[in-house]
C-alpha cells in the first residue's frame, strides 16, 4: 500500500508534519557548563527549516555524574532552561517539532574518565579498565529523580516531547544488559529486576510531565555481544515500558554495537530493520527506525512494508540539513552522505560537528589554490 511520507503523522498528542525524524546527534556545541550556545542555535535553526517533522536534540545529561562527552548539552540544572528554550524556538522557526533527549552515561563516560573521576557503574566489572564503583541503592534512586527533573525542565523549556536514551551502551542499556548488570538486589539478577530501572524512570518521568505529554525512548532492543540482552527479553521490556507510558520507540543498538560505516558503493542496508520489524509486529505504538538509511526509495519501502512508522536519520543531516525539503520538492536523489563516519571523528576530537567529507573537499581545494 502506498503511503505518503510527507503527510502528517501523530505520536500520541503530538502531530508531526511528516514521518521524517532527525535522530539525536552529538554536535559538541554546548559550553563547558552544558549550556546552549549561539553555534547550537544556528544549527537547530538550520535543522528546523530543513523539512524534518521531528528533531531530537543532541543528548543532554541529567546529572554531572552522567555526562558522557565534552560539548554535551545539560538538562541537570534550572539555569539550563533558558538556553534550551532558545533551542526550541530556533527549531520551531522552520516548522519542525523538537524533542529533548536525556541520558546518563554510567560507566561509559569518556568525559569523566579523562578527568580521572570514578565512574558510576551498575555493577563492579573487574575486567573493566575504567576506574569505577558500583552504585548504591540511594544513588540509583537519585538518578531516577534526576531523569524526572530533567524531563520536567524540558517541558518547561517548551520541547514538544521527551526522549530517553536507552541505547548505545549508556546507563539504561547497562541496567538491562546481563553483561553489565551483575547485581543481587532488586535492580539486577533476573530479567524482571534488570528492567526495573527502565520502568521506574518511565513511571517517574510520566508523573513529572503529565499523562498526555509525548514521551519516547531510543531503545537498544538487543545487544550485539555474546551473553548480552536477547531480542525476546528486549521485546518484553518494550511491552512493559509502553504500559508505563512510552508513546513511541526508536529502535537502535544496545551494548556491543560500534558506529557502523558503509563504504561508498555498498548497497543501502538499514542496520536495525529486522529488529524494528519485530518491535512493530509486537507493539501498538509508533516505531522509528534509524541507521543506514540514505534514499527516499528505501524510506518508502520500510514504511510500506510495515517494518516501521517513521524514518530517523543522523549522519545524512550532518551533510544535508535540508535533505527532507529537497526530497519533498521532488529532487529524489539519495542523501549526499557517503557514510564515511569522519563526522564522528571530528566531534570525538572535541570540535563542533561537521561533515568530514565536505571538510576534506575544502582542504583539497585550498591546497590546489
Alpha-carbon distance of 27 to 11, in angstroms, equals: 26
Helix (H) or strand (E) holding 313: strand 310-313
In the residue annotation, 170 being an active-site residue is answered as: yes
Cell of 277: 520489524
Query: Which DSSP string do the residues of 275-325 spell out, in sequence order?
Result: HHHHHHHH-SS-EEEESS---HHHHHHHHHTTS-SEEEESHHHHH-TTHHH
Cell of 195: 528492567
Alpha-carbon distance of 140 to 108, in angstroms, equals: 16
Residues 6+ apart with CB under 8 A from 248: 11, 12, 214, 216, 217, 285, 286, 287, 288, 310
Query: Which DSSP string do the residues of 219-268 spell out, in sequence order?
Result: EE-S-SSTTS--HHHHHHHHHHHHHHT--EEEEE--TT-PPP-PPTTSPP
Query: Which DSSP string do the residues of 59-114 spell out, in sequence order?
Result: PEESSGGG--STT-EE-SSGGGHHHHHHHHHHHHHTT-EEEEEEE--TT--HHHHH
Q: Are strands 97-103 and 119-121 parallel, antiparallel or unpaired?
A: unpaired
Catalytic residue among 44, 59, 73, 170: 170
Angle at 36 between CA 73 and CA 341, to 5 degrees: 55
Phi, psi of 64 (to 5 degrees): -55, -30
List the catalytic residues.
Answer: 170
Amino acid at each position: 500500500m502506498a503511503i505518503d511520507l510527507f503527510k502528517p503523522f501523530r505520536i500520541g498528542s503530538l502531530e508531526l508534519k511528516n514521518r521524517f525524524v532527525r535522530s539525536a546527534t552529538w554536535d559538541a556545541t554546548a559550553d563547558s557548563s552544558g549550556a546552549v550556545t549561539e553555534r547550537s542555535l544556528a544549527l537547530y535553526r538550520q535543522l528546523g527549516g530543513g523539512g524534518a517533522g521531528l528533531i531530537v536534540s543532541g543528548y543532554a545529561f541529567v546529572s554531572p555524574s552522567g555526562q558522557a562527552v565534552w560539548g554535551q548539552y545539560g538538562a541537570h540544572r534550572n539555569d539550563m532552561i533558558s538556553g534550551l528554550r532558545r533551542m526550541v524556538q530556533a527549531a520551531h522557526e522552520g516548522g519542525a517539532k523538537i524533542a529533548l533527549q536525556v541520558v546518563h552515561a554510567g560507566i561509559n563516560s569518556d568525559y569523566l574518565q579523562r578527568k580521572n573521576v570514578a565512574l558510576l557503574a551498575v555493577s563492579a566489572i573487574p575486567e573493566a579498565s575504567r576506574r569505577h564503583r558500583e552504585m548504591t541503592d540511594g544513588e540509583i534512586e537519585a538518578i531516577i529523580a534526576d531523569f524526572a527533573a530533567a524531563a520536567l525542565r524540558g517541558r518547561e523549556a517548551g520541547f514538544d516531547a521527551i526522549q530517553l536514551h536507552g541505547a548505545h551502551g549508556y546507563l539504561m542499556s547497562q541496567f538491562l544488559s546481563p553483561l553489565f548488570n551483575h547485581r543481587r538486589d532488586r535492580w539486577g539478577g533476573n530479567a524482571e529486576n534488570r528492567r526495573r530501572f527502565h520502568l521506574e524512570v518511565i513511571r517517574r518521568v510520566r508523573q513529572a510531565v503529565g499523562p498526555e505529554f509525548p514521551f519516547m525512548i531510543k531503545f537498544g532492543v538487543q545487544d550485539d555481544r555474546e551473553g548480552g540482552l536477547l531480542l525476546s527479553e528486549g521485546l518484553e521490556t518494550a511491552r512493559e515500558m509502553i504500559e508505563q507510558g512510552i508513546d513511541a520507540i526508536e529502535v537502535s543498538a544496545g551494548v556491543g554495537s560500534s558506529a557502523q560505516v558503509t563504504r561508498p558503493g555498498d548497497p543501502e542496508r538499514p542496520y536495525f530493520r529486522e529488529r524494528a520489524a519485530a518491535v512493530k509486529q509486537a507493539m501498538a505504538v509508533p516505531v522509528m527506525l534509524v541507521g543506514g538509511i540514505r534514499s527516499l526509495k528505501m524510506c518508502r519501502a520500510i514504511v510500506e512494508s510495515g517494518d516501521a512508522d517513521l524514518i530517523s536519520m543522523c549522519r545524512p543531516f550532518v551533510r544535508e540539513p535540508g535533505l527532507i525539503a529537497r526530497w519533498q520538492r521532488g529532487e529524489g536523489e539519495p542523501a549526499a552522505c557517503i557514510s564515511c563516519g569522519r563526522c564522528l571523528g571530528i566531534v570525538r576530537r572535541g570540535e563542533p560537528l561537521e561533515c568530514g567529507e565536505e571538510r576534506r573537499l575544502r582542504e583539497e581545494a585550498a591546497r590546489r589554490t
